[in-house]
């Protein structure tokens, strides 16, 4: 089937507009002349095979999306996302969302190619009691993972990945955005957590976004630091609170009188923000309104917090790995890339592309993340 030049050009132009790029920006990023890009976008010129691949690489999109009516990409979702929340996403943040969705699609491909197992989880809410939906879903998922009633989830990122949710952390310039959930047409539910948030807040955010992925049918949800008080947000907050801090756990904490020292100590142990713990205590009837108002103002000192993916690192290694995490490269994802490379599923060039780096830096990246590099071509 011949390539529909007008459809191809329209896709290029719409992606460019979504990312708030000029033709000059695209020319600088692709090496293709501005006049040539304008003609291709207008459907006046047919792209060469190399140009198709260059555009696909530039826009972080499968080239088959551009040349086929059947291959899907998160094109409509992001277009609708920016139509509704466009003022919240700068050009830089739109590009970060684009790379995040690219990583999700790569991760789905790698999990399938490496035949990694997942566990199916589904909860269908009944009735209109949204807060109850959050409570019951959290309890059901904890039972799914065989958590004891008083157990603290040790790695919630792993939990949600295990049930098919792609989880990435990425630094966004808009600090008012806590997280985003987008349903990728190929990869499924994808959760982006703003890495600029407090480390403990990120744990709550990923659980909040997972609730949207499990319970909502929306193609995307954007959660803000100044959260709305609608029923869908209340349900997601309730799920996150109950999953991280079930009432049975809170009632077992050996504290007779809650104060500044106690809230800091236990928030650190449970790896949650003091506000999340204070809300949990209040809703479980363990503190009154006055105590709650005092506790919610307290903050855990930065030196008491730790990120599990940055433990046992210092100096340059710490800073470099933090920089990689800010770009979305988790240990889980990086390990998938290097496992696929070692098994000959992907080439050096493809691994570098998936890791948002160059072939020359693959060995250095493998050392940084502590994974073994076995290169097959």
Write the pLDDT tens digit of every residue in 109-139: 999 999 999 999 988 877 778 889 999 999 9
Please tell me whether residues 24 and 86 are part of one structural domain.
Answer: no
Q: In 315-353, which positions are buried (b, 16+ CB within 10 angstroms) versus exposed (e)? A: eeeeeebeebbebbbbbbbbbbbbbbbbeebbebeebbb
Query: What's the pLDDT score for residue 311?
Result: 65
Tens digits of per-residue pLDDT, 156-211? Answer: 999 999 999 999 999 999 999 999 999 999 999 999 999 988 888 999 999 999 99
Band of pLDDT at residue 225, cut at 50, 70 and 90? confident
Please tell me whether residues 126 and 225 are part of one structural domain.
Answer: yes
Task: Please provide the average confidence, as pLDDT, over all residues in the chain.
Answer: 89
Please tell me whether residues 82 and 170 are part of one structural domain.
Answer: yes
Count of structural domains, the chain: 4
Tens digits of per-residue pLDDT, 154-164? Answer: 789 999 999 99
In a domain, 377, yes or no: no
Domain termination site, one of 39, 71, 103: 71
Please tell me whether residues 27 and 176 are part of one structural domain.
Answer: no
**Model confidence at 48: pLDDT above 80:** yes
Tens digits of per-residue pLDDT, 250-259? Answer: 999 999 899 9
Residue 331, domain extent: 315-368
Please tell me whether residues 111 and 122 are part of one structural domain.
Answer: yes
In a domain, 172, yes or no: yes
Please tell me whether residues 83 and 220 are part of one structural domain.
Answer: yes
Please tell me whether residues 166 and 275 are part of one structural domain.
Answer: no
Query: What's the pLDDT score for residue 241?
Result: 93
Please tell me whether residues 84 and 213 are part of one structural domain.
Answer: yes
Please tell me whether residues 139 and 152 are part of one structural domain.
Answer: yes
Of 59-73, 105-119, 141-155, 325-339, the range with the lowest mean pLDDT is: 59-73
Please tell me whether residues 10 and 83 are part of one structural domain.
Answer: no
Confidence (pTM): 0.91
Please tell me whether residues 97 and 166 are part of one structural domain.
Answer: yes
Please tell me whether residues 91 and 232 are part of one structural domain.
Answer: yes
**Model confidence at 316: pLDDT above 80:** no
In a domain, 373, yes or no: no
């Amino acid at each position: 089937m011949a390539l529909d030049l007008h459809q191809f050009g329209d896709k290029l132009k719409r992606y460019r507009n979504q990312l708030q790029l000029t033709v000059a920006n695209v020319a600088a990023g692709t090496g293709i002349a501005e006049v040539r890009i304008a003609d291709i976008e207008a459907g006046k010129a047919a792209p060469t095979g190399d140009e198709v691949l260059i555009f696909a690489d530039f826009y972080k999109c499968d080239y088959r999306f551009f040349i086929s009516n059947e291959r899907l990409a998160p094109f409509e979702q992001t277009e609708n996302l920016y139509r509704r929340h466009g003022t919240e996403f700068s050009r830089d943040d739109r590009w970060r969302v684009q790379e995040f969705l690219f990583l999700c699609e790569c991760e789905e491909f790698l999990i399938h190619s490496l035949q990694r197992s997942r566990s199916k989880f589904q909860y269908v809410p009944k009735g209109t009691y949204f807060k109850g939906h959050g409570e019951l879903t959290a309890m059901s998922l904890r039972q799914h993972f065989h958590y004891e009633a008083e157990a603290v989830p040790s790695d919630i990122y792993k939990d949600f990945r295990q049930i098919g949710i792609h989880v990435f952390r990425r630094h966004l310039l808009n600090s008012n955005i806590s997280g985003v959930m987008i349903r990728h047409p190929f990869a499924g539910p994808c959760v982006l957590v703003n890495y600029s948030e407090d480390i403990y807040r990120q744990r709550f955010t990923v659980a909040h976004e997972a609730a949207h992925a499990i319970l909502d049918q929306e193609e995307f949800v954007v959660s803000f630091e100044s959260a709305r008080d609608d029923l869908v947000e209340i349900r997601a907050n309730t799920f996150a609170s109950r999953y991280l801090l079930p009432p049975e756990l809170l009632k077992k904490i050996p504290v007779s009188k809650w104060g500044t020292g106690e809230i800091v100590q236990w928030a650190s142990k449970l790896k949650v923000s003091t506000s999340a713990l204070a809300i949990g205590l209040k809703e479980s009837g363990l503190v009154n309104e006055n105590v709650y108002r005092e506790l919610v103002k307290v903050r855990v000192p930065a030196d008491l917090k730790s990120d599990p993916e940055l433990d046992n690192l210092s100096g340059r290694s710490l800073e470099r790995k933090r920089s990689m995490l800010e770009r979305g490269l988790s240990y889980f994802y990086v390990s998938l890339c290097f496992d696929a490379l070692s098994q000959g599923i992907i080439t050096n060039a493809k691994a570098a592309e998936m890791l948002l780096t160059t072939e020359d830096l693959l060995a250095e990246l493998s050392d940084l993340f502590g994974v073994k590099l076995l290169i097959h071509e």
